[in-house]
Amino acid sequence: MGESITSNTIIERLITMAQGVEDTSSHMLQVLSSAPISPELIEKTYRQDLLQFRDVVTKGKEGLLDYIANGRLSLIAYKEFYIEAALQMECIMSRLEAGTYRLLLSLSLERNLPESLVESVRGLLRELQGSSIALVDMLRASEGPVKDPAARRKLLDDKFDLVSESEKRADAIYREALAMVAERYSNEAAKLLMLKEVIDSFEDAVDCAYNASTYVRLVGLGLLS
């Protein structure tokens, strides 16, 4: 069995992963800032940029799984929550990749997508960016010795509330975008399906960020006991 590690070692790895998610959402927002959006830039983002961002998150997850395989997490409390948080962050990246790919396909069907749809995707990415920032803050708050349990608990709860609000706003953006797509493309099944999958994927990414924050909050609160 390998030498055991501390919870801080795992939290540091999760922080790197969460920062990778934040960097990805910021990059995607920048890519989609132009109007009309550039299919060439979307393709570069899908085939090159996202692979680099995802590598950061994937390596973090694989590192945690390696810790399990060699027994280094045997003495760590709440290790299941750490692993679940890592898996949910990988889920974020997977859904972003899927959304970007479907966006690229959509542009092959219709070069000039409705600006309202593009703005909905931007809105979902903004919510993801805010959620990832809060996720990083929650993880950093869980590091090190507990000097003020009440203050740490409040910070964790406040940041989790921010993620929860982002998830609710993302749901509203999704419903509005879906209604627009259904109305505009009611007689164009291929475009309707493809654009629905675009907004499905980006909204799913926000849901995964909420799930990750749920597990991170449980870890943080558990470390207070």
Q: What is the per-residue pLDDT for 3?
A: 60
Question: Could you give the CA distance from residue 18 to residue 65 in angstroms, rounded to a whole number?
Answer: 17
Residue-wise pLDDT tens digits, 87-127: 999 999 999 999 999 999 999 988 889 999 999 999 999 99
User: Which of 12-26, 27-41, 56-70, 103-117 shows the highest mean pLDDT?
Assistant: 12-26
Bigger pLDDT: 28 vs 71? 28
- The answer on pLDDT for 1 being more than 50 is no
Q: What is the per-residue pLDDT for 75?
A: 76
* Exposed e or buried b per residue across 73-95, where buried means at least 16 C-beta atoms within 10 angstroms of its C-beta: beebebbebbbbbbbbbbbbbbb
Residue-wise pLDDT tens digits, 59-86: 999 999 998 888 888 778 888 999 999 9
* Phi, psi of 78, deg, nearest 5: 65, 25
Question: Could you give the CA distance from residue 105 to residue 195 in angstroms, rounded to a whole number?
Answer: 9
Q: What is the per-residue pLDDT for 6?
A: 85
* Cβ neighbours of 13 (radius 10 Å): 20
**Which pair of tokens denotes residue 49?**
């940029």
Find, among 166, 152, 159, the residue nearest to 136 by Cα.
159
Q: What percent of the chain has pLDDT over 70?
A: 98
- The answer on pLDDT for 148 being more than 50 is yes
Question: Could you give the CA distance from residue 59 to residue 195 in angstroms, rounded to a whole number?
Answer: 31
pLDDT band at 144 (very low <50, low <70, confident <90, very high): confident
Q: What is the per-residue pLDDT for 112?
A: 86
Q: What is the per-residue pLDDT for 110?
A: 86
- The answer on pLDDT for 164 being more than 90 is yes
pLDDT, average across residues 152-171 = 97
- The answer on pLDDT for 2 being more than 60 is no
What length does the chain have? 225
pLDDT, average across residues 167-188 = 96
